[in-house]
Amino acid sequence: MSIFSRLRSKLFKLSNHLMDQQERCKKCNIKCGLIKVSPDVLRSLEDGFQKLSGSNSTSLLKKYLTKQVFDELKQKKTSFGSTLLDCIQSGLVNHDSGVGIYAPDPEAYVVFASLFNSIIQDYHGGFGPEDKHPKLDWGDISNLEDLDPNGEHIISTRVRCGRSIEGYPFNPCLTEDNYMEIEEQMIKIFRTMEGELEGEYKDLTTMSKEEQNQLIDDHFLFKEGDRFLKAANACRFWPKGRGIYMNHNKTFLVWVNEEDHLRIISMQPGGDMASVYKRMIEGVYYLEQNIKFARSPRFGFLTFCPTNLGTTIRASVHIKIPKLSSDNNKLDSIAQRYHLQVRGTRGEHTESEDGIFDISNKRRLGLTEADAIREMQDGILEILRVEQSLP
Ligand code: ADP
Ligand code: DAR
């Protein structure tokens, strides 16, 4: 670890200690009403809560933000200054959210635990307030197989994970300098990548709109202007500090400062899950030799959105299942049974185009990396078995 990283890690530990002291002091100040949430924030919270409560939203935020939880949390702040509004503003504005909450900084998961814990337990299939995420375990790659050796249904396979860099809060609390610092640190590391991982970083401030749109259409680059992220205050200073690293074959990618500080992605045409997974692991292993990732004893790897905590792994296939996809109930029942998530062709919050679906594991927390991949592989094999059994 470079002297810079060691120094930053020491500073982070010192700031943690200071935050503890400050937190104790703040708790007593808040108790005696010295540091309050501003009247404007309280008004926005009350108004948003009333509108959400009266809506037909099916978000997990609406399901678990009861009046009791709301009143308990509305006056709280983290040591970064994040309020309940900072956590839930996206879900208050977008009633069609699936989840509706993000953590503006790592402390939010603790300060607003009575809301986050319920949503986390629901989304990740039972990870309770006393549970702890298991140690990292990539598993034995030799147990993985080509999910579609004859190439009849699977167009491509992708595995991604998210990483937050220790010492930095999440999007809504990042300063303009923070975005640039993270990008500069990553560019230095990208320049040292060799072999299959060797490639080039392209930042969004200099990338042409044509190239950007082509990379999005080809499913390599993240979409721009996500309304959920915008409403979560996660797109400030855009596109400064944002970009994508791609190896020469575009099979290994790293997104910088989109939703998380880093998204580390491996993908290729076909169904060869073992090769895709192995490449992502190699990429993660190389990066973690050069930069310290934020990991919590309880939640594993920390991310902006609670749906990505833990392993942060989303393993997906772009798959054509013309028979099964014409029977939504049957497809949904398999997805439920195997903890799968069905997305549209361009990813989250999009529709299927030309009968192509993005199907992936849903659970990321409370199981190992190996479990998450196995769960996805078992689910996809079942989907293919049923598809091939239909008349
Ligand atoms: P994530 O948050 O995991 O990055 P998104 O749903 O935002 O997922 O998708 C990001 C991009 O990755 C989208 O363009 C989507 O089409 C693409 N993608 C996801 N899975 C695959 C896959 N198996 N093959 C090709 N592209 C994929
Ligand atoms: N759009 C938000 C987040 C859902 C999970 N996906 C993420 N984190 N990209 C929603 O509540 O629908």
Q: What is the pLDDT of residues 261-274, one digit of tens each?
A: 999 999 999 999 99
Catalytic residue ranges: 160, 259, 263, 305, 307, 314, 343, 348
d(Cα 250, Cα 248) in Å, to the nearest integer?
Answer: 6
All residues at 6 or more sequence positions from 171 whose CB lies less than 8 Å from its CB, including other chains: 102, 104, 229, 232, 233, 234, 235, 236, 257, 259, 304
State the distance from the centre of ligand 2 to the C-alpha of 98, rounded, in angstroms: 6
Nearest CA to ligand 1 atom 12: 219
The angle formed by the CA atoms of residues 157, 163 and 168, to the nearest 5 degrees, is: 155
Residues with CB under 6 A from ligand 1: 156-158, 160, 219, 263, 267, 314, 316-318, 343, 346-348, 358
Peptide bond into 149 cis (omega under 30): no
What is the pLDDT tens value at each position of the chain, 391 positions in all? Answer: 566 666 666 655 655 555 455 445 544 444 433 468 999 999 999 999 999 999 999 999 999 999 999 999 999 999 999 999 999 999 999 999 999 999 999 999 999 999 999 999 999 989 999 999 999 999 999 989 899 999 999 999 999 999 999 999 999 999 999 999 999 999 999 999 999 999 999 999 999 999 999 999 999 999 998 999 999 999 999 999 999 999 999 999 999 999 999 999 999 999 999 999 999 999 999 999 999 999 999 999 999 999 999 999 999 999 999 999 888 899 999 999 999 999 988 888 888 888 889 999 999 999 999 999 999 999 999 999 999 999 9
Burial group, residue 138, by CB count within 10 angstroms (0-12, 13-18, 19+): middle
Q: Which atom of ligand 2 has the smallest separation from the CA of 60?
A: 11
d(Cα 252, Cα 170) in Å, to the nearest integer?
Answer: 24
Helix axes 369-389, 328-337, angle to 10 degrees: 150
Nearest CA to ligand 2 atom 1: 228
Between the alpha carbon of residue 378 and those of residues 72, 145, 147, 384, the distances in Å are 42, 11, 9, 10
Ranges of beta strands (E only) in 106-242 are: 154-163, 199-203
Strands 243-247 and 252-256: antiparallel
d(Cα 192, Cα 197) in Å, to the nearest integer?
Answer: 10
d(Cα 113, Cα 115) in Å, to the nearest integer?
Answer: 5
Closest-approaching ligand to the CA atom of 303: 2
Which domains occur in the chain, in start order? Answer: 39-123 (1.10.135.10), 141-389 (3.30.590.10)
All residues at 6 or more sequence positions from 366 whose CB lies less than 8 Å from its CB, including other chains: 124, 125, 126, 127, 131, 133, 134, 310
State the distance from the centre of ligand 2 to the C-alpha of 305, rounded, in angstroms: 7
State the distance from the centre of ligand 2 to the C-alpha of 231, rounded, in angstroms: 12
Nearest CA to ligand 1 atom 19: 347
Taking alpha carbons only, the member of 317, 313, 221, 314 closest to residue 268 is: 317
The two tokens of residue 294 are: 């934020």
175-221 pLDDT per residue, tens: 999 999 999 999 999 999 999 999 999 999 999 999 999 999 999 99
For ligand 1, pick from 147, 158, 250 the residue to mutate: most ligand atoms within 8 Å of CB: 158
Nearest CA to ligand 1 atom 11: 219
Closest-approaching ligand to the CA atom of 268: 1
DSSP letters spanning 243-293: EEEEETTSSEEEEESSSSSEEEEEEEESSBHHHHHHHHHHHHHHHHTTSPB
Closest-approaching ligand to the CA atom of 159: 1
In residues, how long is the chain? 391
